[in-house]
């Protein structure tokens, strides 16, 4: 059967609710370096742009020198990598949708601003990795979202057609990547963003993957 469609997914907040484990790692670093910890709801707003950006937003106007930035980022990545799947869970209905996609010969890939090795490890630990033909992290290429090439390179790698590809994500970073790559964009509600649903341009809004096959069927 010939491939009929390609779906690109963000990871954090889109495929998997990773905020609980990210928040624990974030607060571990904050405590270790003498800064205030944050509630889960605050950490969620700053996920998706990289570890340092997330912590920097929590620090607000505090000036942190480059060496300490590197130390904090390394501490975050090391701690998070060891505790990556303690409380992270796939979004409801995801396994059922991925199984359905495979019966339709839809190509599935991940485009995340998480480190590639961390993304792969998380997907493997949650038994999701084998569903995806390719996983691109923020360090896979010399560029990452919202750069269109983060998406278009993956489409090319999996042998897809940009005119028959859609992007699924939960934030303005995913929105802009989709716009830059000229792809339709499906927004997952309650995502990891400071913006409201109204502030993120999208073609379709979903809250989870229950019944998502009916939405995708309209694109096939």
pTM for the whole thing? 0.94
Give me the CATH code for the 19-82 domain, please. 1.10.150
Q: How far apart are CA 213 and CA 200, in angstroms?
A: 23
Is the pLDDT higher at 48 or at 2? 48
Q: Are 164 and 6 in contact (CB under 8 A)?
A: yes
Active-site residue flag, 170: no
| pLDDT (0 to 100) of residue 59 | 87
SS3 of residue 35 by DSSP: coil
Q: What is the homologous superfamily of the domain 5-17+88-217 according to CATH?
A: HAD superfamily/HAD-like (3.40.50.1000)
Whether the link from the prior residue into 146 is cis, omega within 30° of 0, is yes
- Spatial contact of 63 and 79, defined as CB atoms under 8 Å apart: no
pLDDT tens digits for 56-110?
888 886 888 989 999 999 999 999 999 999 999 999 999 999 999 999 999 999 9
Q: How confident is the model at residue 39 (pLDDT cuts 50, 70, 90)?
A: very high
Contacts of 113 (CB under 8 A, 6+ apart): 48, 49, 50, 137, 138, 144, 145, 173
How do the domains of the chain map onto residue ranges?
5-17+88-217, 19-82
Given 10, 21, 170, 213, the catalytic residue: 10
pLDDT at 1 over 60: no
């Amino acid at each position: 059967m010939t491939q009929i469609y390609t779906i690109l997914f963000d990871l954090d907040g889109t495929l998997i609710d990773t905020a609980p484990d990210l928040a624990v790692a974030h607060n571990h670093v904050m405590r270790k370096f003498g800064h205030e910890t944050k509630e889960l709801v605050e950490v969620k707003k700053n996920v998706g742009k990289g570890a340092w950006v997330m912590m920097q937003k929590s620090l607000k106007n505090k000036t942190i020198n480059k060496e300490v930035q590197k130390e904090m980022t390394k501490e975050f990545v090391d701690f998070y990598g060891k505790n990556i799947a303690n409380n992270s869970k796939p979004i409801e209905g995801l396994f059922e949708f991925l199984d359905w996609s495979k019966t339709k010969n839809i190509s599935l890939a991940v485009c995340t601003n998480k480190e590639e090795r961390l993304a792969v490890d998380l997907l493997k630990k949650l038994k999701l990795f084998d569903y995806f033909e390719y996983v691109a992290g923020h360090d896979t290429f010399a560029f990452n979202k919202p750069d269109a090439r983060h998406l278009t390179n993956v489409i090319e790698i999996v042998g897809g057609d940009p005119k028959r590809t859609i992007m699924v994500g939960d934030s303005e970073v995913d929105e802009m990547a989709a716009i830059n790559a000229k792809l339709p964009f499906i927004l997952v509600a309650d995502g990891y963003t400071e913006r409201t649903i109204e502030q993120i341009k999208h073609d379709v809004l979903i809250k989870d993957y229950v019944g998502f096959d009916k939405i995708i069927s309209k694109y096939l």
